[in-house]
Amino acid sequence: MLRDGVAIDQALVQVGDSGLYVLPITTPFGADEQLSRGGLVRELISKLREFFPLIILDCPPLLPVAEAREIASLADDVILVAAWRKTSESALRNAIRALPPSIAARAGVVLTRINLKKQARFAVGDASAYYDRCKEYYAA
């Protein structure tokens, strides 16, 4: 779509009957290509807003990839994804500081790969403290 000008309705892929659509990257971008160059992503998001009330952009990491920060600046909100006990607090703070101030003020953080069994040992009064009683609800 960005390279060849394919229409949105031809590029979107519906996920089952869910009402969820994905716009896949079907061919890799070269090392010298930038999605944000020439306003392509801005134009794409503008077109997508005509069809969808919510658009989720899955971007590369903010700190090492400058283009990810440019794309994130086009978003209404940003959710940073951090690996539990792997991503440092300073890395998260720096990623939030790299965002435009208007977006950084509303940025959220999601922790992934939480070991609920380990977390339960340190989480007195936290919901994860009930891990042993409710572990059949969680996938390993």
pLDDT (mean) for 5-17: 89
Which long-range contacts (C-beta less than 8 Å, at least 24 apart) are formed by 88-93?
91/63
Q: Pick the closest to residue 15 from 44, 56, 45, 46 (CA basis).
A: 56
| Dihedral of alpha carbons 117, 122, 123, 125, sign | positive
Q: Pick the closest to residue 23 from 9, 33, 4 (CA basis).
A: 9
| Domain range summary for the chain, segments of one domain joined by + | 1-56, 68-140
Structure-token pair, residue 138: 């969680």
| Dihedral of alpha carbons 97, 56, 45, 49, sign | negative
What local confidence, expressed as pLDDT, does residue 2 receive? 73
pTM: 0.71
Cα–chain center distance at 112: 12
Q: What is the mean pLDDT of the chain?
A: 83
**Residue 66 carries which DSSP code?**
H
Q: Phi/psi zone of residue 90: left (φ > 0), alpha (ψ -120 to 50 degrees), beta?
A: alpha
Q: Convert the pLDDT of each residue in 85-133 to its tens digit.
A: 899 999 999 999 999 898 999 899 999 998 877 776 766 666 655 656 6
Straight-line distance from the first to the last Cα atom of the chain, in angstroms, rounded to the nearest whole number: 39
Provide the 3-class DSSP secondary structure of residue 82.
strand
What local confidence, expressed as pLDDT, does residue 28 receive? 74
What local confidence, expressed as pLDDT, does residue 44 receive? 87
What local confidence, expressed as pLDDT, does residue 15 receive? 94
